[in-house]
Structure 1
Amino acid sequence: MAELVPFEDITHFFEDFEHTAWRLETQRGYASDRLSPKWARFKAGRTAFGYQPDHPWHGNVRKQTELGKRFERVRLVDDPPTEGQRFLLASGLGNVEAGEDIRNLYRADAVRIGLPDFDFWLFDSRTVVEFVFDDQGQDLGVRVREDAQAVVHACQARDAAWHHAVATRQFQARLNP
């Protein structure tokens, strides 16, 4: 098993990848979101957060996508969505405006098609960064994997998730008819 390292040790991947950065998000909520300044605004009733060019994530996504690279992710969503998932649906719109393609998939469908139950990033179909969280959604670190088994499993999960997932705006329309 790969060594657990701090997330900060792998942030270079978000600029160094050549073609695609793809993420599967499986958690029902993240401690980092609850610590975000957006969380209070969300709790006060704000339901959409747009693109912020000065936000480091948005700026990097825009920069990388303008270079022809792709940022993609699939978020698992419970039915009904948890508070943390509703927050991600609201805050994800800014990521989409920055250039990230975010899609959503109901958790029951993810279980049905056999997706993993852990979060990971897949960079260029050759490097997998698996997250480890505690029960409160706190990031404990990541494991960087480049072994064939981990990479192939992540690629298969990506392909299955992407096939069944629904674009963010379309998914939100289904939730709020």
Structure 2
Amino acid sequence: MIVIRVHRGYDRLHEFFVTFTHSAFRLEVRRSYGMDEVERAHFLDFLHGGKPGWEWMKPWFDVIGPRLNDGRIMRRVRVADDPPSDYVKFEMYMTPVNVRHGEAIRYLERSAAGRLGLPTYDYWLFDARSVVVMVFDGDDQLTGVEVDEEPAVVQQHLRWGEAAWGCSWPVGEYAGGAG
């Protein structure tokens, strides 16, 4: 078994984002995520009826854009409650921006995720060979990642990812109570 515990999760994740050669898949199951001051300001603007722009997301698009423009694939499934949490509503509002920049993002109701037996943790799967489990603290801050390249573990995460993708919906078609 190959498991690597890394406490500076963003550094290690960044390495995967710039080196993946074919595909990246993420399962997002949390109801909220820790935010820096910039994201929090946009989130609060959204909660108060504003329509925040996407410029604050530019560093992310600068990293993934060149990879997606050369044909690599990035897919995500976001698990949502019905009705969704405020943070997931914010994500739903911002999703079209991610899609315009090349990501494919779908939504799955939490009850369906349970029926599918999906894990209750967030992970990325890079190039069908590296599972990167994201570790969060009680304040929803990413504190580290666990990398596992054991073939049986990778295969299980591939199956979960395909099951989630097959049962989920693009944000414009998702009926999970976003309004």
Q: Taking structure 1 as the reference length, what is the TM-score of the superposition? A: 0.89
- Residue 41 of structure 1 aligns to which amino acid in structure 2? D
Q: In the alignment, what sits opposite 2:21? A: 18
- Displacement of 1:172 in angstroms is 6.4
Q: In the alignment, what sits opposite 1:171? A: 174
Q: In the alignment, what sits opposite 1:38? A: 42
Runs of 5+ consecutive residues of structure 2 not aligned to the other structure: none
Given the superposition, is the C-alpha separation of residues 167 and 48 from structure 1 closer, same or farther in structure 2, using an over 3 Å criterion?
farther
CA deviation string 1:95-147 (max 9, x = no partner): 11111000000000000010010000000100011011123311121111111
Given the superposition, is the C-alpha separation of residues 32 and 175 from structure 1 closer, same or farther in structure 2, using an over 3 Å criterion?
closer
CA deviation string 1:34-54 (max 9, x = no partner): 76142232122135655x498
1:1-177 equivalences under 5 Å are 2-7=4-9, 8-32=11-35, 36=39, 37-47=41-51, 49-50=53-54, 52=55, 55-171=58-174, 175-176=178-179
CA deviation string 1:72-104 (max 9, x = no partner): 100000011111111111122211111100000
The answer on whether the counterparts of 1:33 and 1:39 sit within 8 Å (CA) in structure 2 is no
Runs of 5+ consecutive residues of structure 1 not aligned to the other structure: none
- Residue 31 of structure 2 aligns to which amino acid in structure 1? R
> Number of aligned pairs?
175
Root-mean-square deviation (Å): 2.2
- Residue 164 of structure 1 aligns to which amino acid in structure 2? C
CA deviation string 1:48-69 (max 9, x = no partner): 655x498021233322111000
The answer on whether the counterparts of 1:22 and 1:121 sit within 8 Å (CA) in structure 2 is yes
Where relative contact order (Cα < 8 A, 6+ residues apart) is larger, the structure is: 2
Q: Quick one: percent identity of the two aligned structures?
A: 33
List structure 1 segments (4+ residues) > 3 angstroms apart after TM superposition.
Answer: 47-50, 172-176
Given the superposition, is the C-alpha separation of residues 41 and 25 from structure 1 closer, same or farther in structure 2, using an over 3 Å criterion?
same
Q: Taking structure 2 as the reference length, what is the TM-score of the superposition? A: 0.88
